[in-house]
Amino acid sequence: MGQLSITIGRVLLGLYFLMPGLIKIAGPAQTIAYMESHAIPFAAPLMCFSASINILGGLALIAGRHVRLVAYGFVIYVLLVNFMLHDFWTIGPDMVERETQNFFKNLGILAGLLVLAGTATVRPLSIAGWWLSDKSV
C-alpha cells in the first residue's frame, strides 16, 4: 500500500507541474505580464524555459523517470517562484492574503517533493538508458 501511495503522489505532483506548463504555452501573455509586474527581467524567454521545465519535469515524474533529480530540481524551482512571484511581504494589502496562501501552498508542494526525492531510487546520471523507468535501472 505504501508504494501505491508514493506512485499516486508522484503522478499527482507530476500533473501539478505539467498542467501549468501546458497552460503557459497555450496563453503565454498572461504569465509574461505577471512576471513583468514583479520586475522579472527577460520574462518572455524565462516563461518559455519555465513552461518547458514544467512540461518535461511533470512528464518525468508521471512516468517515474529520474524522480530524485526532477524532484530536487522542482524544489529549487518552487523556491524561486515563491520568493520572486509570491512575495506577499512586499505587495499591497489587496493581494497579501492571496499571495500568502500561494506562498504557503507552495511550501506544502515543496515538502511533498522532498519526501518524494527522499524515497526515490538513487539513479546515476547517464545518457545510457535515460528513458528507462527508475525501477528498471
- Record the pTM: 0.87
Provide the residue type at 133 as one letter. Answer: S
Position 80 in a domain: yes
Count up the domains in the chain and report the number.
Answer: 1
d(CA 71, CA 14) in angstroms, rounded, equals: 9
pLDDT at 131: 67
Position 131 in a domain: no
d(CA 52, CA 62) in angstroms, rounded, equals: 15
Position 24 in a domain: yes
Position 136 in a domain: no
Per-residue pLDDT of the chain (137 residues; tens, 9 = 90+): 788 999 999 999 999 999 999 999 999 999 999 999 999 999 999 999 999 999 999 999 999 989 999 999 999 999 999 999 998 888 888 889 999 999 999 999 999 999 999 998 876 666 777 666 676 54
d(CA 130, CA 128) in angstroms, rounded, equals: 6
